[in-house]
Chain A
Amino acid sequence: EAQVTQNPRYLITVTGKKLTVTCSQNMNHEYMSWYRQDPGLGLRQIYYSMNVEVTDKGDVPEGYKVSRKEKRNFPLILESPSPNQTSLYFCASSPRTGNYNEQFFGPGTRLTVL
Chain B
Amino acid sequence: DAKTTQPTSMDCAEGRAANLPCNHSTISGNEYVYWYRQIHSQGPQYIIHGLKNNETNEMASLIITEDRKSSTLILPHATLRDTAVYYCIVRAAGASGTYKYIFGTGTRLKVLA
**Chain A contacts to B: CB under 8 angstroms:** 4, 31, 33, 35, 37, 40-45, 48, 50, 54, 56, 58-59, 88, 90, 92, 99-108, 110
Q: Which of B45, B99, B101, B104 has the most CB of A within 10 A?
A: B101
Total chain B interface residues with beta-carbon distance under 8 A: 24
- Provided the pairs A44-B103, A48-B98, A101-B91 are in contact, do residues A106 and B49 lie with their beta carbons within 8 angstroms? no
**22 contacts across the A-B interface (CB closer than 8 A):** A4-B43, A33-B100, A37-B41, A40-B105, A42-B105, A43-B87, A43-B103, A48-B94, A48-B100, A50-B99, A56-B94, A56-B95, A88-B41, A100-B49, A101-B91, A101-B99, A102-B46, A102-B49, A103-B46, A104-B46, A108-B43, A110-B41
Chain A nearest CB, measured from B64 CB (Å): 15
